[in-house]
Amino acid sequence: MGAMGSLLGILLVLGFLGLMIYLFSAGSAARALDQRERAELDRLRALVDDLKETAWDHRELDSALSTIMIDKIRESERRGRELGS
């Protein structure tokens, strides 16, 4: 149950990070990000990348859940690229 709880916690963090990245992205359309906001956005992106790597590295704990997490992150990245185009 510990591994499942950890992965569930990671999913909750990913959901929160997705919301934060969305909010930052929505605000950036109206104005340029200041230095502090840019640093926070960069930090959140690095965290998402790290969580994706962690899910991949520990996929043997729950391969289905790791796959779901990685797919969700990739889907979000694709949507971000589409919005940026």
Count of domains for the chain: 1
| Whole-number pLDDT of residue 79 | 84
Pick from 68, 82, 84: nearest CA to 15 = 68
Q: Give residue 82's pLDDT.
A: 80
Structure tokens belonging to residue 46: 């690095």
Q: What is the DSSP code (8-state) at residue 66?
A: H
Q: How high is the pLDDT of residue 8?
A: 73
pTM score, whole prediction: 0.54
Range of the domain at 51: 2-84
Answer whether residue 58 shows pLDDT above 80. Answer: yes
pLDDT in tens, 15-51: 777 777 777 776 555 566 688 888 888 888 898 888 8
- C-alpha 10: how far from chain center: 10
